[in-house]
Structure 1
Amino acid sequence: MKERKEGLVSVVIPCYNAAPFIEDCLDGLKSQTYEKTEVILINDASTDHTQKIAEKWIKNSKAPFQTILCNLPVNAGFAGALTVGYFMSSGEYIAVNDADDISHPQRFEKQVDFLLKNPDYDLIGSNYQVFYDPKLKEGGQKSNWLKYGDSIRKCYGEGGHCVSHGTILFRGKVFDMFGGPTRRIDGAEDYEFIVKFLNAKLKIENLKDVLYYYRDHDQQRSKTFYGGEKSE
């Protein structure tokens, strides 16, 4: 099994044509109170200026963490890009952050703290708010479809979905054992990845704190498959 760096959070950001949003996303990570992080940007053969904007941000941001930009030569899709990022990760923990969304400054601090205090758990998500304007992101509507505690396993057992994929942080050793999301279910990769944890009898939870801001816009991937933000 891969030797992972204790306490390190590897933040994996799959990017496809994220030029209008990627700076906000990265600035949010720069504001994190948890200091031991690395950021892995997987540019999934974008056809816009995502690469150029990311390169400029890395050069000029003076971020307190290492930022790795991987430009894929062909489009691998959402699951493929995520899995590349997971393979590149070095952290004891792996976190997801969608390229058009923003993490709350205390997100990783609170999620890592939960896993430290609950060693029998392997994945932790959180509540989130929807926003349209980054300057007004804290005034958005909170999610109302997430579940907590024993209700999570029950929900998935009945074919439901109740963990927001963009909010998850999980132990890197689980990826080393079971791999990443499947590429066989286009649009439901996040659902399948959570079910993989549950089928392995691993415990997962959601924090009720709002630790993530979900951007609502016309180009978001979720609307392609579901027409709304619940697919997140």
Structure 2
Amino acid sequence: MENKSDPLVSIIIPAYNSARFLRETLDSSLNQTYTRVEVILVNDGSTDNTPDIVPEYSGRIVYINQDNSGLSAARNIGFLASKGEYIVFLDADDVLLPHMIETLLPALLNDPSAGVAYGGYMQMDVNGMQFGGSSMDKTSGMIFRDMIQNVADMPVGSLIIRRCVFAKSGIFDPMLCQLEDVDMWLRLAYYHKFVFVPEYIFVYRQSENSMSRRWAEREPANRLIIKKWTVILEALNEPKQLIKPFRKRVRSHRTSQCIQDAFIHYKAGHNHIALRKMIAGVIRDPRYLANRGVVSILVRSMWGEFFKKQPCIKK
């Protein structure tokens, strides 16, 4: 039962052609054990049947429809429309576990000096099959330097943020089509304390059609965030030795995303795309050839492509 004295938490969901998973995402937001929640859905110019799903949730969500403006802009619009003292951002194909808010919110309520609380996450494929979870070896406190050197492993749905802290840190950068969340977490971490709660509170769906997986946009975004944070670190008079590892980690992150994309496309049956991405990842970092899973997908994708081009040969 909702207690009006409890702080309001806003869950902001940008959606672009995410109808396949949208109900699951909305239900996970509305069915939180912590009930003082508002759910804001921002339809970012979807061309699928996303708008047809909205009437099913009439009276239970705030719905905003806009022309396609990108992920950052959709999140920003949702934030401006929100009323909560605390904010959760959630992509439209991911899922909050029922206790997400109930688990993370006390970390902020009990520590006024903390600006962000985050937890562990599990992963699943497009069919809902879970296949791994994040490390619980995370840190609390002023974690900016650790974050700048390691590139944050914090999917957007695994955090809850004080509204005032987010507002002071500025909105998501609409110039970044990728890594906009990393950019935001860095800005938050420079001035504010993070608290890690060692529980799984979120499920991150690995999907070839995810809003945050537009491969063509990833390369320029990587270059842009490196350039942006090189300038910021220099302006903040941070040690130059921070800049080099940041560049290295962003490039390493790009390679790991390439390998991860290959696995996703292989599981989806897209052998030619999986092969292309796996080769690109291995060229960037040949050490991946020591990974049996990488070699297996590489060989199987090549084998699958070979038989596709040889219709007279039966497997």
Q: Using structure 2 for the length normalisation, give the TM-score.
A: 0.63
The structure in which a higher percent of residues are strand is 1
| 1:58 lines up with 2:57 in the alignment | yes
Measure the CA separation in 1 of the matches of 2:7 and 2:154.
23
Higher relative contact order (CA 8 A, sep 6+): 1
Measure the CA separation in 1 of the matches of 2:128 and 2:85.
33
Change (3 A) 1:132 1:187: same
Taking the TM superposition and a 5 Å limit, the aligned residue runs for 1:97-176 are 97-132=90-125, 136-137=129-130, 140-144=131-135, 147-150=138-141, 152-158=143-149, 160-176=151-167
Structure number with bigger Rg: 2
Change (3 A) 1:8 1:37: same
CA contact (8 A) 1:9 1:92 kept: yes
Q: Using structure 1 for the length normalisation, give the TM-score.
A: 0.84
Residue of structure 1 equivalent to 2:88 = 95
Task: Report SS of the residue matched to 1:71.
Answer: strand
Q: CA deviation at 1:159?
A: 5.7
Picking from 169, 179, 193, the partner of 1:203 is 193
Measure the CA separation in 1 of the matches of 2:181 and 2:138.
15
**Aligned AA for 2:65?**
N
Contiguous gaps of at least 5 residues in structure 1: none
Measure the CA separation in 2 of the matches of 1:220 and 1:133.
10
**Aligned AA for 1:49?**
N
Residue of structure 2 equivalent to 1:78 = 71
CA contact (8 A) 2:30 2:37 kept: no
Measure the CA separation in 2 of the matches of 1:86 and 1:47.
23
Picking from 177, 185, 194, the partner of 2:176 is 185
Q: CA deviation at 1:143?
A: 1.6
Q: CA deviation at 1:206?
A: 2.7
**Aligned AA for 1:26?**
L
CA contact (8 A) 2:11 2:39 kept: yes
Residue of structure 1 equivalent to 2:208 = 218
Q: CA deviation at 1:156?
A: 2.0
Task: Report SS of the residue matched to 1:41.
Answer: strand
Task: Report SS of the residue matched to 2:19.
Answer: coil
CA contact (8 A) 1:128 1:142 kept: yes
Measure the CA separation in 1 of the matches of 2:142 and 2:198.
14
**Aligned AA for 1:24?**
E
Residue of structure 2 equivalent to 1:10 = 10
Picking from 51, 63, 87, the partner of 1:69 is 63
Residue of structure 2 equivalent to 1:23 = 23
CA contact (8 A) 2:96 2:201 kept: yes
Deviations 1:24-74 (A, max 9, x none): 011112221001000000000011111111x23213xx8xxx4101000x2
Measure the CA separation in 2 of the matches of 1:221 and 1:155.
27
Work out the number of aligned pairs and report it: 215
* % same residue: 27
Measure the CA separation in 1 of the matches of 2:204 and 2:73.
22
Change (3 A) 1:107 1:114: same
Residue of structure 2 equivalent to 1:194 = 185
123-132 vs 152-161, greater mean Cα deviation: 152-161
**Aligned AA for 1:45?**
G
Q: CA RMSD in A?
A: 2.3
Contiguous gaps of at least 5 residues in structure 2: 219-256, 262-315
